[in-house]
Amino acid sequence: MPTPQTQPRNDSAPRGGRAFMRVIRRLVRLGALEDVRRLLDRVHPADVVQILRMLAPTERKAFTDVLLSHGRAGEVLADLPQAQVEEILVQVSNERIASLVSRLAPDKAADLLRLLFEDRVVAILKLLDEKTAATLDRLMTYGPETAGGMMTTRFLALDRHTRVGEAIDRLRSEPEAEMVFYLYVVDDAMRLEGVVSLRQLVLARHDQELREIMNPKVIRVRLDTSRGEVADVISRYNLLAVPVVDAGNVLCGIVTVDDAIDAITDETTREMYRLAGLNTEDRIGTPPRESVRRRLPWMVINLGTAILASWVVSFFEASIAQVVALATFMPIVAGMGGNGATQALTVIIRGIALGEIDFSSARRAILKEITVGVAIGVATGGLMAGIAMLWKGNAMLGLVICMAMIINLFVAGLTGAAVPLVLKWLKLDPALGSGVIVTTFTDCCGFLSFLGLGTLLLSFLK
């Protein structure tokens, strides 16, 4: 969720803030809510978010009631996870929401309203002044995962013929504009023509026109640029803000660097969660019932793939009945394959996310992971062969397990590298599902190669 406050809020040092947090949490636990209300003025909204996260559910309820009657509640809400805000907003009147929203930056306000049902939004917009309502209405039409959904409309755009002196006067009269370190220069149809940094403005002569001092080559994004790509542009080119334009190059808003940081953090959580088959809304504070509901489908899919693997095993029940040691060692082959595949998978998925790989380098990456897999298979397989020989006193058993491990780590390297690349090529999320697909391969191939070789060489194993 974007946070618009880009100028530093130097009103509370973090160390002081943390001591304060402890005091507030103690007061909430003691029920001294009047004292909490008084202290709330002096806490940074980011610290209030932190306090909320750490309170027990009942304490959180009491604290939220105090918070909602406080002027800075909006800023806090805008920083909370979506599920928690939805829960809170249900209990709040439309009038109260309208008052909170009117004090927020437009991008944050639109994010809050997006969480409400259509009819409530309409009612709340009617309570706001016409201009704010129109801005919010427009912002809400953009998807939350696009530049349009991230941008704020509080930026400063001036005509290219504006003189430096006038620009400084305009700055004085717009106390609410965000990221005033840049002024955007537009033509008479609001088309983006250039950017002037506040520093350039300070150093220029007052009678110069903006077009004389502006930088005309502006890195910009489109309204429909994805959230991840906007974050990538800001981070790659070390920007403090990036202007958002429509198809006709008309300046619509700006996305600031703090929103890019939020987007990067969210993308990371998504990436890690998808690897584990988790839903992004499944956090530490999510109620157990909700977590079960969200995790169960994935676990049922996993059960399906596990049954597939055990179906492979079932073909070899006759061999296992004769040489039970096969049952003892079969989890090792599958497990090592799974671990090898997870390593290959993580390197490739992270490489895709960081833009370190494209299709021309994909073949190289797959070949490398196969090489690494086979080499690790030879090393650990050889080690395991020795252990199996010493343990069970059967050299052939050692040979079978070693060969099966090499085969399975070959499969691990191949699928661990290829599956996320294929998913990416199909324009799917490379992290989503690749773990389960790859593990199914290494489980089935592990059992098949080990028990298959064991069956072929059964007479030597008895």
Q: What is the DSSP string of 340-359?
A: HHHHHHHHHHHHHHTT---H
Is residue 310 part of the contact set for a copy of itself (CB under 8 A)? Answer: yes
Helix (H, G, I), strand (E, B) or coil at 301: helix
Is residue 132 part of the contact set for a copy of itself (CB under 8 A)? Answer: no
Is residue 127 part of the contact set for a copy of itself (CB under 8 A)? Answer: no
Is residue 258 part of the contact set for a copy of itself (CB under 8 A)? Answer: yes
Return the closest-CA partner of residue 106 out of 256, 320, 321: 256
Residue 253, CB-side half-sphere exposure with 13 Å CA sphere: 25
* Residues between 151 and 190 that touch a copy of itself (CB under 8 A): 168, 171-172, 180-182
Is residue 299 part of the contact set for a copy of itself (CB under 8 A)? Answer: yes
Is residue 248 part of the contact set for a copy of itself (CB under 8 A)? Answer: no
Q: What is the 3-state secondary structure (H, E, C) of 111-128?
A: HHHHCCCHHHHHHHHHHC
Is residue 39 part of the contact set for a copy of itself (CB under 8 A)? Answer: no
String marking each residue 433-452 x if it binds a copy of itself according to CB under 8 A: ----------x---x-----
Taking CB under 8 A as the criterion, the residue among 32, 291, 429, 458 binding a copy of itself is 291
Give how far Cα 227 sits from Cα of 256, 265, 452, Å. 12, 12, 49
* Residues between 370 and 399 that touch a copy of itself (CB under 8 A): 371-372, 375-376, 379-380, 383-384, 387
Output 12 or 226, the one with its CB closest to a copy of itself. Answer: 12
Strands 157-159 and 182-186: parallel
Is residue 343 part of the contact set for a copy of itself (CB under 8 A)? Answer: yes
Cα–Cα distance for residue pair 348/353, rounded to 1 Å:
9
Taking CB under 8 A as the criterion, the residue among 219, 395, 428, 456 binding a copy of itself is 219
Is residue 321 part of the contact set for a copy of itself (CB under 8 A)? Answer: yes
196: left (phi over 0), alpha (psi -120 to 50) or beta: beta
Interface stretch with a copy of itself, choices 96-104, 105-113, 135-143, 312-320 (CB under 8 A)? 312-320
CB 181 within 8 A of CB 197: yes
CB of 25 to a copy of itself, least distance (A): 8
Is residue 297 part of the contact set for a copy of itself (CB under 8 A)? Answer: no
Taking CB under 8 A as the criterion, the residue among 62, 123, 278, 389 binding a copy of itself is 278
Output 172 or 427, the one with its CB closest to a copy of itself. Answer: 172
CB 168 within 8 A of CB 201: yes
Per rule CB under 8 A, count of chain residues that contact a copy of itself: 126
Taking CB under 8 A as the criterion, the residue among 19, 122, 269, 386 binding a copy of itself is 269
Sign of the CA dihedral running 269, 271, 275, 278: positive
Taking CB under 8 A as the criterion, the residue among 23, 157, 261, 437 binding a copy of itself is 261
Return the closest-CA partner of residue 61 out of 18, 24, 19, 28: 28
Helix (H, G, I), strand (E, B) or coil at 162: coil
Output 125 or 430, the one with its CB closest to a copy of itself. Answer: 430
CB 396 within 8 A of CB 322: no
Is residue 82 part of the contact set for a copy of itself (CB under 8 A)? Answer: no
Rg (CA), the chain: 29
Output 93 or 361, the one with its CB closest to a copy of itself. Answer: 361
Phi, psi of 253, rounded to the nearest 5 degrees:
180, -175
DSSP character at residue 174: -
CB of 119 to a copy of itself, least distance (A): 33
Taking CB under 8 A as the criterion, the residue among 97, 195, 402, 453 binding a copy of itself is 195
